[in-house]
Amino acid sequence: MRFLAACHRRPVDATPIWIMRQAGRYLPEYRAIRDKLSFMEMCRRPDVAAEVTLQPLRHFELDAAIVFADILLPLEGMGIGFHFSPEDGPVIERPVRGAAELTGVRPFDARRDLPHVLETVKLVRRELDERTPVIGFSGAPFTLASYVVEGGHSRTYEHIKRLMYGDPETYGRLMALLADAVVDYLLAQIEAGAHAVQVFDSWAGCLAPFDYERFVLPYARDVVARVKQRGVPVIYFVNGAAGMLSLVGQAGSDVVGVDWRVELDHAWEQLGDVAVQGNLDPVALLGPPQAIEERVADILRRAAGRPGHIFNLGHGVLPSTPPDNVKYLVDAVHRLSAKSASG
Amino acid sequence: MRFLAACHRRPVDATPIWIMRQAGRYLPEYRAIRDKLSFMEMCRRPDVAAEVTLQPLRHFELDAAIVFADILLPLEGMGIGFHFSPEDGPVIERPVRGAAELTGVRPFDARRDLPHVLETVKLVRRELDERTPVIGFSGAPFTLASYVVEGGHSRTYEHIKRLMYGDPETYGRLMALLADAVVDYLLAQIEAGAHAVQVFDSWAGCLAPFDYERFVLPYARDVVARVKQRGVPVIYFVNGAAGMLSLVGQAGSDVVGVDWRVELDHAWEQLGDVAVQGNLDPVALLGPPQAIEERVADILRRAAGRPGHIFNLGHGVLPSTPPDNVKYLVDAVHRLSAKSASG
């Protein structure tokens, strides 16, 4: 399995590729299911979640599947209710802004709280047999905390930064609870059959390196260390972290995911001896094939000579992406990287 | 004038500071005027715009004034109508998505289209006499184009990137028109009395370095070169560019503004021999004084030993900022940098 070989920085016949949100709205057969079920219903039904996980692999020569789920799912079992609003996206019903709101939060237990996600991992693993690896995932502690404190998406992250600066004890207790949840969730997905796991720190890029180092990195490092003991590769992806990659690398993951706002070789120099995942701008997939080809070639050229490159977008695939362009991308990555390996 | 000395990388008695959006909603006396006039009315009345420009200088020991205006103002004279919606911010009435929409766009002329801004610069300059320098400003060509093409704010910048990839000729014609507008506008502000000018590329950080280099940098470099001939310092600020600062530096400005998502010394290493402006997280001003002090000290420590540091936030000051914290920041920058110069 090319993807796992690359995670371990072993030689591959061509660069592996998977795509963040590859099970998603850009696929007509996904939308056909989504028209009948709510997003949360899809997450809660292992048969549906497994089907949606497998859909992109029927069209494209992807090198890994990623289980269909949402990063907010663990919150419900912790007593932090949320729903999705059509306009604003996720809405946390009672945001945690201080010690008082934290008293209602309880530890997460994957087997009790999210048995359906674990069942989905098992179904996908069985269906794929041993041809294609399955990636499990979780939000990182800070990214989960940002939802819990902000109450949803944020432009400024004022509330979580205020908590960090003004009440570091409550902030630390929330982060410790979430770190335990993330570890439990990832270990349970590994036990259910995940070959690798990705930790999404989607919003940690809102922080100055000064604050990332003090308030985020210790928890990310703790999560990575505890999960790595299980022996499967851990991918740590921080969106918007182009200016602090050397800190991101200190979390100790096997693979670091990077967004598109940095040249891959420049990123890799700062990360050192790890595998690197990325990093095409998702919007490039809205351009003509030639624009995709040029940008794929540039990324592969910057990755050449170092083992351990996993191709991916720098963020999730956009709903407006033509599926034909996803096919073009996947094939171009394999074609151009196989060529460069032989020549 | 400390600020101008730092722009030229000459020795200063203390690090100069000004604050992006220092004339703004966090000040009660600004809000008192804003309660009576629309934002556009404030921009169109030189007496009001000058008053608002001067307000923060009465409270804080700021080292520069920046003229009160909006980066979208030049668009109206170019035949690109817009208004501000309370929910969504700026709304471009007919976004330019292809060659057809571009036919209605005409060249900008600062004296014809924005005499009130030039009058504001003159009033502020007269009022301040020679004690404090006045900064003029404009949006950069790409940031203006992103509004014109997207139709307002955007999360993904899909439309402008599509135009770039799919119709580079129309994209190039729009950018050339905007570059001419920016140059004309900045030169007119300099003629009216601005001691320095800042070019805001607020949204160029949405691009991969591959695209920034090909589609943005040539226009930024052209603007900077044409304005620099007038002999006043040019500041080029790109928000979200932590991963491509060496490209940003190639625009050739005297001063490069950097956001808060990168350590200042790390940024400066990539920029080389220029003055650097930044880079405190605006949200740090919502924290207690101790949190502000720690972060100011860290930034000054990273700037030490290099001439040409201008302190600023990494983005505009937030409306929710307590004015007392702004005072604390300005005084802390002067106190801590004067100390370190003597010790």
Q: What is the pLDDT of residues B102-148, one digit of tens each?
A: 998 999 999 999 999 999 999 999 999 888 999 999 999 999 999 99
Mean pLDDT score across all residues of chain A: 96
H or E element, residue B138: strand B134-139
Take residue A287 and report the two structure tokens written for it.
Answer: 């351009």
Question: Does B234 have pLDDT greater than 50?
Answer: yes
Q: In this predicted complex, what is the ipTM?
A: 0.96
Query: For testing the chain B interface, which of A214, A283, A290 should be mutated: the one with the most B CBs within 10 Å?
Result: A283
Minimum distance, in Å, between the CA of residue B242 and any CA atom of chain A: 5
Nearest CA in chain A to B281: A208
Question: Sorting pLDDT into bands at 50, 70 and 90, what band is A204?
Answer: very high
What's the predicted TM-score (pTM) here? Answer: 0.96
Q: Which of B209, B286, B287 sits opposite A262 (nearest CB)?
A: B209
Is A147 tagged catalytic?
A: yes
Measured between beta carbons, the chain B residues lying within 8 angstroms of A240 are: 240, 261
Chain A contact residues (CB < 8 Å to B): 156-158, 161-162, 165-166, 205, 207-211, 240-244, 260-263, 266-267, 279-284, 286-288, 291, 295, 298, 314, 318, 320
| Contact (Cβ atoms closer than 8 angstroms) between residue B66 and residue B48 | no
Query: Which residues 6+ apart lie within 8 Å of B34 measured at CB?
Result: B25, B42
Rounded to an integer, what distance in angstroms lies between the CA atom of residue A237 and that of residue A265?
Answer: 17
pLDDT tens digit sequence for B7-19? 999 999 999 999 9
Is B34 tagged catalytic?
A: yes
Cross-chain Cβ contact A286/B165 below 8 Å: yes
How many other CB atoms sit within 10 Å of the CB of residue B272?
11
Cross-chain Cβ contact B207/A158 below 8 Å: no
Residue of A9, A25, A44, A221 marked active site: A25
Rounded to an integer, what distance in angstroms lies between the CA atom of residue A241 and that of residue A206?
Answer: 8
Rounded to an integer, what distance in angstroms lies between the CA atom of residue B187 and that of residue A124?
Answer: 63
pLDDT tens digit sequence for A147-170? 999 999 999 999 999 999 999 999
Average pLDDT in the A74-99 region?
Answer: 94
